[in-house]
């Protein structure tokens, strides 16, 4: 069974005669046979009660965190992958209770052979769930640049991991633009607890105090005119997201992006898996540690201002998107990363507006 292969450390209750684990009765409905033990609590539940509990927990996250006010028009960042598929499905179920309306917004990064298939999955979901869908493309938003073109430009630059560095910044901007296009008041993304823990680890490993300081909490309130963003699945483990998709029979796109193997995130993911094997609470502990992190005044990054080129929130003269695009347009993509940005910023005021005003550009 594919699910067992995907989740080798989840205990499934089989009830088979020679099984090491005969299926107990569901601890919630006390009627059906349990199908699984919840990874964190060990509670034995049937598929239906597990999905109901999962939805109730997401509802609690949204209400307790005051993430989505009544009447919100919510742009759901839809990639066709498991997280955004589950997020859209859960929010669709909760929409009447929350009094919100949903609009799927998908970003076409221009990754041949990968994103086309993922977008087909999003279109299928939108049609099946009768949700409006808008697709925005890097090529249209960023002066003809696609991720494949960025990858060709950065090839041989000695920064093999830079594809995801560029993509993360541009995708955040593209999602903001798509959300504005459809009149959304809020943006939600499908990041789960494992994603957040990986991000916290990466920020620690890079010594990026600024992102650590901004990375906690369930979302951002929308500084500098940006739309408020939140992550309703931030406290849900990846395993439970996969289980929910399985028991709700959701179809999603599960192939990995062609540029993903280069990403630093993969190392953080491997490290986190080993940490979790030794300490099962490691994922949530990392998420909560970021929420509670307080930086000493001397370590705090300066208050962000406005990008001198496009007006978006920026902690330096140029926002990350303008800096990255500037480096690409000059044929010097490395200039936009790390210390190279200083050279760009000295010249920033004379550039033209390359992207519309949008948001702060941190990884999440």
Annotated binding site for ATP: 77-79, 83, 107, 190, 195
Which residues are annotated binding-site positions? 77-79, 83, 107, 190, 195
**What string marks each residue from 82 to 111 as x (binds ligand SF4 by CB under 6 A) or -?**
---------------------------x--
How many residues bind ligand SF4 (CB under 6 A)? The answer is 10
* Two structure tokens written together for 311: 């007006």
CA-based nearest residue to 364, from 217, 266, 160, 184: 217
Q: How many CA atoms lie within 13 A of 110 on its CB side?
A: 23
Task: Check residue 252 for interaction with ligand SF4 (CB under 6 A).
Answer: no
Smallest distance from ligand SF4 to CB 260, Å: 4
Q: Is the CB of 39 or the CB of 327 nearer to ligand SF4?
A: 327
- Given a contact cutoff of 8 angstroms between Cβ atoms, the answer to whether 289 and 335 are in contact is no
Smallest distance from ligand SF4 to CB 167, Å: 3
- Given a contact cutoff of 8 angstroms between Cβ atoms, the answer to whether 100 and 71 are in contact is yes
Q: Is the CB of 113 or the CB of 183 nearer to ligand SF4?
A: 113
**What string marks each residue from 253 to 272 as x (binds ligand SF4 by CB under 6 A) or -?**
----x-xx--x---------
DSSP state of 70: T
Question: From CA 112, how far away is CA 119, in angstroms rounded?
Answer: 12
Query: How remote is the C-alpha of 194 from its chain's centroid?
Result: 10
Q: Which of 133, 147, 200, 312 is the binder for ligand SF4 (CB under 6 A)?
A: 147
DSSP helix/strand/coil, 216: coil
Smallest distance from ligand SF4 to CB 357, Å: 23
* Cβ partners under 8 Å of residue 303, min gap 6: none
Interface residues for ligand SF4 in 151-180 (CB under 6 A)? 163-164, 167-168
Smallest distance from ligand SF4 to CB 151, Å: 8
339 exposure class (CB count in 10 Å sphere: 0-12, 13-18, 19+): exposed
Q: What is the binding site for ligand SF4 (CB under 6 A)?
A: 109, 147, 163-164, 167-168, 257, 259-260, 263
């Amino acid at each position: 069974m594919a699910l067992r292969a995907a989740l080798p450390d989840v205990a499934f209750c089989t009830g088979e005669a020679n099984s090491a684990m005969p299926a107990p009765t569901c601890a919630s409905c006390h009627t059906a046979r349990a199908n699984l033990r919840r990874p964190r609590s060990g509670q034995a539940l049937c598929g239906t009660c597990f999905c109901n509990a999962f939805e109730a927990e997401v509802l609690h996250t949204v209400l307790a965190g005051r993430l989505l006010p009544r009447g919100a028009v919510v742009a759901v960042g839809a990639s066709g992958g498991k997280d955004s598929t589950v997020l859209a499905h859960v929010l669709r179920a909760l929409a009447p209770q929350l009094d919100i309306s949903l609009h799927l917004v998908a970003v076409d990064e221009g990754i041949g052979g990968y994103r086309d298939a993922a977008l087909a999955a999003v279109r299928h979901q939108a049609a099946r769930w009768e949700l409006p869908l808008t697709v925005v493309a890097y090529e249209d938003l960023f002066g003809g640049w696609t991720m494949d073109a960025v990858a060709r430009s950065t090839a041989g630059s000695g920064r093999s991991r830079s594809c995801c560095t560029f993509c993360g910044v541009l995708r955040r901007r593209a999602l903001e633009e798509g959300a504005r296009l459809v009149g959304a008041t809020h943006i939600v993304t499908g990041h789960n607890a494992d994603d957040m823990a990986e991000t916290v680890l990466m920020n620690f490993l890079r010594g990026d105090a600024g992102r650590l300081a901004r990375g906690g909490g369930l979302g951002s309130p929308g500084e500098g005119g940006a739309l408020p963003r939140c992550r309703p699945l931030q406290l849900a483990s990846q395993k439970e997201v996969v289980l929910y998709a399985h028991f709700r029979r959701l179809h999603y796109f599960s192939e990995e992006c062609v540029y993903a193997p280069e990403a630093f995130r993969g190392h953080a993911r491997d490290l986190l898996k080993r940490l979790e094997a030794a300490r099962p609470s490691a994922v949530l502990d990392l998420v909560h540690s970021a929420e509670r992190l307080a930086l000493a005044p001397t370590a705090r990054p300066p208050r962000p201002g406005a990008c001198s080129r496009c007006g978006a929130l920026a902690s330096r003269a140029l926002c990350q998107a303008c800096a990255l695009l500037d480096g690409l347009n000059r044929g010097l993509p490395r200039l936009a990363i790390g210390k190279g940005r200083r050279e760009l910023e000295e010249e920033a005021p004379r550039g033209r507006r390359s992207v519309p005003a949008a948001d702060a550009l941190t990884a999440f």
